[in-house]
Amino acid sequence: MSRKNDGKELDSIFDGLLATMEQSKKDIFIISEQSRQDYEEMKDELEDIRLNISAIIKKGDLLEEKTRAARRRLAEVSGSFTSYSEEQIRISYENANDLQVKLSANRTEEKKYRQKRDRLQRRLQTLLQTIERAERLVNQLNVTINYFISDFDKVEEAIEKPQLNQDYSLRIIEAQEEERKRLSREIHDGPAQMMANVLLRSDLIERTYREKGPELAFREISSLKEMVRHALTEVRRIIYDLRPMALDDLGLVPTLRKYMETTQDYNPGTHLSFGSHGTERRLPPSYETSIFRLVQEAISNAIRHGKATDIDVKLEWVKERVNISVGDNGTGFDPKTVKNQSFGLIGMQERIELIKGEFIINSSLGEGTILLFQIPYEQGI
């Protein structure tokens, strides 16, 4: 009877907690959506202000040209009293003065709009930070909710399991959310930001052409082309990180070689070497993908955590098996201490088990690391 009541009480607590988290998620979503709406409205307002500034600048340029002409006219009539009447001199003076007043008002109006534009840009940045914070909170709530829902039906069983299994379930969900956030951040900070700069630079080119002539404008266009080329490179890098297309077309060895060359380019000061020995062969897609991800994770860990400057990857094709070693000269670690705490190593172990392979770690503090993967490619194929 007591166990039944305890179960009902636990259900009630769980339902209440879940309802609170779901409501919090809805509230955060409403805040995020309102912020997005305000952000879009401000972007439109900012665009209108930019158009107004452009129109004011054009009007100011015309006024400045007329003012210079009026001043020349005033100097001409003022210097020759015998050729011009007093009325003509007065009209010239009033015209020059009127244009000067209009030009001053134009400059004041331009300054006012520029200040308004700067305020809007700061508010847009604040709104963007609010949206990003809301997204982080929603992601964290999603992780927590998913963890509760997926594991609640097995609470008693989970309590009896080792702590590692509980942590691993949560880390899987966290990794998924973190990967989504990373991709979003990479696209926002990389290609999206670059394309926004392209729009700004295109406005600058138009003004440069109008004010300083075609030669400087063409220089700006060359710079703009380089920016677009860099944005395209970033997009291709992000796509490559998600899924190297060469893996399907060329196979494992060429793809690994290309990946290591690209990684070395993106990490100056780090040297990566690659070798493949024995008779190479194509493996099923699941095997090739798993091996690629294992090597990718090993290299990433060596650079990010081990601070390695020299990484050596070797593939050895032997009968019914491929052996892979990834060695580095990084800081190393204590496998007994780190293995059950490192999501990367746990993920490697899980991936190796899926393809019925073996995973060996050889590392010690200050001595670098060697990771060995032994994968039977005949078994199960």
Note whether 40 and 187 are same-domain residues.
no
Q: Counting every residue, how long is the chain?
A: 381
Note whether 117 and 41 are same-domain residues.
yes
Instruction: Give the whole-angstrom CA distance, residue 142 versus residue 323.
Output: 39
Note whether 145 and 201 are same-domain residues.
no
Structure-block tokens of residue 370: 């060697």
CB 126 within 8 A of CB 104: no
3-state SS class at 269: coil
* Number of structural domains the chain divides into: 3
Q: Is the pLDDT of residue 287 over 50?
A: yes
Structure-block tokens of residue 280: 């190479």
Whole-number average pLDDT of the chain: 78
Note whether 151 and 204 are same-domain residues.
no
Q: Is the pLDDT of residue 67 over 60?
A: yes
Structure confidence by residue, pLDDT tens digits, 224-243 = 777 777 777 666 666 655 55
Predicted pLDDT of residue 197: 73
Structure confidence by residue, pLDDT tens digits, 247-259 = 777 788 998 998 8
Structure-block tokens of residue 296: 């990718």
Note whether 232 and 254 are same-domain residues.
no
Note whether 236 and 333 are same-domain residues.
no
Note whether 208 and 131 are same-domain residues.
no
Angstrom distances, CA of residue 162 to CA of 151, 172, 286:
14, 16, 29
Domain coverage including residue 177: 173-242
Give the best-scoring range by mean pLDDT among 60-64, 337-341, 344-348.
60-64
Note whether 105 and 123 are same-domain residues.
yes
Cross-sheet strand order for the sheet of 271-277? 271-277, 310-318, 321-328, 369-375, 358-363
Q: What is the pLDDT confidence band of residue 208, given thresholds at 50, 70 and 90?
A: confident
| 168: in domain | no
Note whether 233 and 187 are same-domain residues.
yes
Instruction: Give the whole-angstrom CA distance, residue 362 versus residue 113.
Output: 64
Write the CATH number for 141.
1.10.287.1490
Instruction: Give the whole-angstrom CA distance, residue 203 versus residue 53.
Output: 12
